Amino acid sequence: MISLDINEKKYQVEVEPDVPLLWVIRDHLQLTGTKFGCGISACGACTVHIDGEAERSCQVSAKEAEGKKITTIEGMPEDHPVKRAWIEDDVPQCGYCHPGQIMQAAALLAENPNPSDSDIDEAMSGNICRCGTYQRIRRAIHIATKSMPKGG
Partner 1 sequence: MSTIINLSRRDFCKTGALLGGGLVLGFYYPGCKAGKKEEVKAVAPFIPNAFIRIGADDTVTIIVNKSEMGQGVYTSLPMLIAEELALDWSTIRIEPAPVDPAYNHTQWGPIQGTGGSTSIRSTWEQLRTAGATARVMLEMAAADIWQVDEKDCRAENGHIIHKGSNRKLSFGELVEKAADIEPPKDVTLKDPKDFKVIGRNKKRLDTPDKVHGKAVFGIDVMVPDMLTAVVARAPVFGGMVKSVNDKKAKEIPGVKAVVQIDSGVAVVADHFWAANLGREALEVEWDEGTLAALDTQNQGEQYVEMATKPGLIAAQRGDVQAALATAAQNIEAVYELPYLAHAPMEPLNCVAYVRPDSCEIWTGTQMQTSDRDAAVELTGLPPEKVTLHTTYLGGGFGRRAVGDAHFVREAVQVSMAVKKPIKVIWTREDDIHGGFYRPRAYNVIKAGLDAEGMPVGWQHRIVCQSIVEGTPFEMLIKDGIDETSVEGAADSPYDVPNFICDYQKAPSGVPVLWRRSVGHSFTAFVKEGFVDELAHAAGKDPYAFRRQLLAKHPRQQALLDLVAEKADWGNPSAKDRFQGIAIHESFGSFIAQVAEVSVSDAGKISVHKVVCAIDCGRTVNPDTIKAQMESAIVFGLSAAFYGEITFKNGRVVQSNFNDYEVLRMNEMPLIEVHIMPSEEPPGGVGEPGVPPIAPAVANAVFAAKGIRMRKLPMT
Applying CB under 8 A, the residues found at the interface with partner 1 are 16, 19-20, 23, 26-28, 30-40, 42-43, 45, 72-74, 76, 78, 83, 86-87, 90-99, 102, 120-122, 124-138
Residue closer to partner 1 by CB (options 37, 107) is: 37
Work out how close the CB of 151 gets to partner 1 at its nearest, in angstroms, rounded to a whole number: 26
Which is closer to partner 1, CB of 92 or CB of 151? Answer: 92
Give me the phi and psi of 9, to 5 degrees please.
Answer: -130, 140
Q: How far is the CB of 67 from partner 1 (least distance, A)?
A: 21
Minimal distance in Å, beta carbon 119 to partner 1? 11
In the bound state with partner 1, the residue whose beta carbon lies nearer, of 110 and 128, is 128
Long-range contacts of 82-87 (CB under 8 A, 24+ apart): 82/106, 82/109, 82/140, 82/141, 82/144, 84/144, 84/147, 85/140, 85/141, 85/143, 85/144, 85/147, 86/140
